[in-house]
Amino acid sequence: MSRVAVVGAGIVGLAAAHALRARGADVTLCEPGPPGGGQSAGRSRIFRHAHDDPRLVALVARSRSLWREWEHEFGVELVSRDGAVAIGDGVEDKLRTLEPFDGIPVRRLDPGELHDRLPLLAGYEGPAMLDVDGGAIRTVAAVGALVSRLEGTMLREHVISVGRRTSGGVEVRTGTTARTFDHVVLCAGRGTAALARGAGIDVPVALGAHVRLTFATRATPARGGTAAAGLPTFQDGSGTFGETGAYGAPDPDGRHFSVGLSADTDAAPDGALADPSELAALADRTVDYVRRALPGLEPAPVDHVHCWVTRLPWGDDGVGIWSADGITALAGHNLFKQAPVLGEALAGTALTGTVPQDLRPGQRLGRAAG
Ligand SMILES: Cc1cc2nc3c(=O)[nH]c(=O)nc-3n(C[C@H](O)[C@H](O)[C@H](O)COP(=O)(O)OP(=O)(O)OC[C@H]3O[C@@H](n4cnc5c(N)ncnc54)[C@H](O)[C@@H]3O)c2cc1C
């Protein structure tokens, strides 16, 4: 039986550990904090199919079917059935990229249907689309279900170093342990690049800090008082409301909607923010955006998620897997929706030593258009 350590119990590490167990590996999952407490924190994420890179669209479509398999296996809804709405001039490009994919139902929305589906939104007459099989990922349910399946695998320790032993295997050193494994998978979010570098693997991530705010919905008579129930997720690239990139997703409680801007504060590799006041400024801009674009929300935020984000040089949706001599590292951004398929890819890499073609860094999967 292959002995594999997975470092980091965010959604990707949990998915990798789950896939490894399903393939019969002896898994140890190292995580000092609450599972899902890093970049995977918060109560929702957007599942959308539209991406600039058609190869990423194909990967995400495969992930969508694996989310369904997880729902079946865990007996709980993990992606809402209310779709993903996008507005702005980019809609036509998105539709063109998705058109060749038979299994991804998408369509344009006229202003009337847009308002029916997203009554939170202020008046808007421009291009809009619905990704029918997109929706809000139930993050807490997903993390909880995976953790419950991984009982007995958790080592509640911070990993200090990962290194190959001349006598064979890969050693993982934590605060109080030193153990050797056949393979080690690094899914440590902002901790991955440092651990990988110590093992001679250069993962070129840039670090940033992001803020997302949660707002209460105003009750609308049309929705019987449960204003966020049945709402789609939302991406706004229109610029109509003073921001060229904004996103939102309903919380599972049916009463809250979380909103963020497609903007971060740059950080040095050690986590020092270039301008610490910028996070507060981003939060203020988000509130201002909500006042203009989403009058269906109470404009005082009730909750904040502050999170590190890790980006590859080739785009906001870039993702890659680096692997050499028993050590595999994953990096990228906007990975929640891909977690099931990345878990499979990492498990396969750990057990065979071969990274799936599209996920090799030279492929620059998820590269931005242009
Ligand atoms: C506000 C926000 C909104 C987002 N929206 C979307 C979205 O709509 N759709 C989407 O698909 N994605 C979205 N993303 C991105 C997505 O959430 C992340 O890409 C994903 O959660 C990353 O998961 P992960 O498991 O790779 O990393 P993480 O969740 O960060 O997990 C890494 C784990 O490793 C642990 N760790 C770190 N160092 C060590 C160490 N040395 N030893 C042991 N453990 C260690 C950490 O404690 C952490 O738990 C969003 C991200 C943010 C922050």
Same domain, 356 and 294: no
Query: Is the Cβ–Cβ distance between 79 and 48 less than 8 Å?
Result: no
- Encoded tokens for 228: 């966020």
220 has pLDDT over 90: no
Which amino acid, one-letter code, is at 308?
W
Same domain, 241 and 102: yes
pTM for the structure as a whole: 0.96
Same domain, 283 and 211: yes
Same domain, 273 and 331: no
The residue whose CB lies within 8 Å of the most ligand 1 atoms, and thus the one to mutate among 258, 334, 341, is 334
Q: Which domain holds residue 8?
A: 3-39+142-204+315-363
Pocket (CB within 6 angstroms of ligand 1)? 7-13, 30-33, 37-40, 42, 45-46, 158-159, 187-189, 191, 195, 210, 212, 260, 305, 307, 309, 333-337
CATH of residue 262's domain is 3.30.9.10
The answer to whether residue 75 sits within a structural domain is: no
Q: Which residues contact residue 106 at a Cβ distance below 8 angstroms, ignoring those fewer than 6 apart?
A: 49, 50, 94, 95, 98, 129, 130, 131, 132
Same domain, 89 and 119: yes
**246 DSSP 8-state letter:** E
Same domain, 211 and 199: no
221 has pLDDT over 90: no
Q: Which of 270, 287, 311 is the last residue of a domain?
A: 311
Same domain, 121 and 20: no
The answer to whether residue 152 sits within a structural domain is: yes
Same domain, 120 and 210: yes
Burial class (CB in 10 A: 0-12, 13-18, 19+), 284: exposed
CA of 42, closest atom in ligand 1? 1
Number of domains in the chain: 2
Cα separation of the two ends of the chain: 46
Name the pairing type of β-strands 84-87 and 233-236. Answer: parallel
Which amino acid, one-letter code, is at 235?
Q
Same domain, 238 and 287: yes
- Encoded tokens for 120: 């939170």
- The residue that leads in pLDDT, 134 or 224, is 134
Give me the phi and psi of 107, to 5 degrees please: -160, 160
CA of 363 to the centre of ligand 1 (A): 22
46 has pLDDT over 60: yes
Give the model's pLDDT for residue 276: 86
Same domain, 128 and 218: yes
Same domain, 128 and 212: yes
> What Cα–Cα distance (Å) separates residue 256 from each residue in 10, 82, 123, 143?
23, 15, 21, 20
The mean pLDDT value for 293-300 works out to: 97
The residue whose CB lies within 8 Å of the most ligand 1 atoms, and thus the one to mutate among 147, 336, 337, is 336
CA of 143 to the centre of ligand 1 (A): 12
- Encoded tokens for 328: 């595999």
CATH of residue 172's domain is 3.50.50.60
Task: Name 134's bridge partners.
Answer: none
| C-beta atoms surrounding 224 within 10 Å | 9
228 confidence band (pLDDT: 50, 70, 90): low
Query: Hey, is 217 helix, strand or coil?
Result: strand
The mean pLDDT value for 10-17 works out to: 98
CA of 127 to the centre of ligand 1 (A): 32
- 255-279 pLDDT, tens digit each: 999 999 999 999 998 999 989 899 9
